[in-house]
Amino acid sequence: MLTEEGKKALAIIKSIEDKNIVLPEVNNVQIPVILQYLDELEVTKGMLEKIRNEVRKLIIKDVNEVRFDEDIDVKLIEDALESIYNVSKIICPPQLLEVVSKKSKSVKSLVKPESGDIDELEEEVERIEDSVDRLLGNISNFLGGLASDLAGKVIGNLVNVFPSPPTVYDGPLT
């Protein structure tokens, strides 16, 4: 004897069988490649070709910065990239700006690579080098002062260990 829920389920199954409805095979459904929770992601041509050859799609989400290589073409992006969302910054070549923009949601900035990126890195390297130079100068001054103090104490201790001989006669020598 079937419960009310069982009778409803049986009725649905019979209805599907009577109408010859074919449900899709679960084996044919391709699971997308999801890249998530990354600080930086570089999307390469090889990566996209592999995803396309596997008949899969790429989903990028919750990433700070996504950078597309220069050698990627529009067709490859259209075939392999499903969507990009919740990303702070996307850097891509000018020829990909339109197609990447269409596949993006909740992106703070979409820019093409500029020499400004390199200039910013060079400035940062200079700032770090200046900081290291100042730090080394401070360490050198500290060690120089420490060496001077230690030398003074060592010499003072040597004087105490080897005192000058006592004076026996302090008068004229005639």
Cα distance from N-terminal residue to C-terminal residue, the chain: 143
Distance CA 142, CA 60 (A): 51
Per-residue pLDDT averaged across 23-30, rounded? Answer: 63
Is the separation of the CB atoms in 45 and 20 below 8 Å? no
- Note whether 62 and 78 are within 8 A (CB): no
Domain that holds residue 119: 114-157
Say whether both 123 and 89 belong to one domain. no
Domain count, the chain: 2
Task: Report the C-alpha gap between 149 and 48 in whole angstroms.
Answer: 65
Asked if 58 and 84 sit in the same domain, the reply is yes
The whole-model pTM stands at 0.53
pLDDT tens figures, 37-54: 999 999 999 999 999 999
By mean pLDDT, which of 98-102, 115-119, 151-155, 170-174 is the weakest?
Answer: 115-119
Residues 67 and 109 occupy one common structural domain: yes
What is the DSSP track for 22-74? -PPPGGGPPPPEEEEEEEEEEE-HHHHHHHHHTT--EEEEEEEEEEE-TT--H
Kindly state whether residues 86 and 104 are assigned to the same domain: yes
